[in-house]
Structure formats: structure tokens, C-alpha cells
Structure 1
Amino acid sequence: MPNYRVSFAKQILGVPFTVGSVEIARARDPERARRAAELRFARQHGVEDWRERADRCEIAAAETQRA
């Protein structure tokens, strides 16, 4: 299963500023990775919903490092 990195950003005057990112080690598809990252981000920041801290989230496939 692929790894994903989900970045969360707050938009100020139309410019997105990254406020955090979450790495998901394994997910079946990008949508499941996004949902897991939203929940983890909200827990990390002590809020009910991730939208209290960020305006947008973007998902990208993370590169895996092999030893």
C-alpha cells in the first residue's frame, strides 16, 4: 500500500500558509488517507474538526525510503 503526505494550510489574504502535515504510512486509496490525516490533525491540535485550524488540505503520494 502506498504512503501519503497530507498538508494542511490556512489561507490569509488569498495566500496559503502551511500549518502542518500528516504522514499516513498505509492507506488503500488517497481518499482514505485524507480522512485518516484529517482525524489525526484534529487530534494533534485538540479540536473537533480540522477546519478549525486550516482552510484546505492537499494530498500527495509520499516517497518511500528503502534501506
Structure 2
Amino acid sequence: MSNYRVHFAKQILGVPFTVGFVEISRARDPERALKAAEIRFARSRGVNDWRERADTVDLAPHAEAEF
């Protein structure tokens, strides 16, 4: 299972500004990580759909910190 960081951005005059991100750990694949992040982002913002607060989403693999 992999870890992912999903960034949500709002575009203003064509320039993306990050409005938040969600870290997903232990996702089976990128599609499941993206879906989980969309739901978590929407719930944390108190909206039904993540698109109410962001225009774009970017999924990237994320390595856990090693101690």
C-alpha cells in the first residue's frame, strides 16, 4: 500500500493557489487515494463537493518520514 499527498487549488486569473492538502496513507491505488482525499477535503470544509472550494486537484506519491 502506498502513501499519497493530494493538493487542492483554486485558480485565480489562471494561476493555481493551493487552498489545502490531504495526506492519504495505505491506499491500494491512486484512484482510491484520490477519492478518499476528495471526500475528506469536502468534509473538512463543510461542503458536499470539493469543487465548491477548489478548482483543481493534484495527486502525488508521498514518502513517510524515517526516524
Normalized against structure 1, the TM-score is what? Answer: 0.96
CA distance in 2, matches of 1:58, 1:17: 12
Partner of 1:61: 61
Partner of 1:50: 50
2:17 corresponds to 1:20:
no
SS of alignment partner, residue 54 of structure 1: coil
Give per-residue Cα distances to partners, 1:24-65, cap 9 Å, x unaligned. 011010010000000000000000000000000000000112
Normalized against structure 2, the TM-score is what? Answer: 0.96
Runs (4 or more) in structure 1 with deviation over 3 Å come to: none
Compute the RMSD of aligned alpha carbons: 0.6
Q: When the two structures are aligned, how many residues end up with a matched partner?
A: 67
CA distance in 2, matches of 1:14, 1:47: 24
Quote the sequence identity (%).
Answer: 69
SS of alignment partner, residue 25 of structure 1: strand
Q: Post-superposition shift, 1:66?
A: 2.8
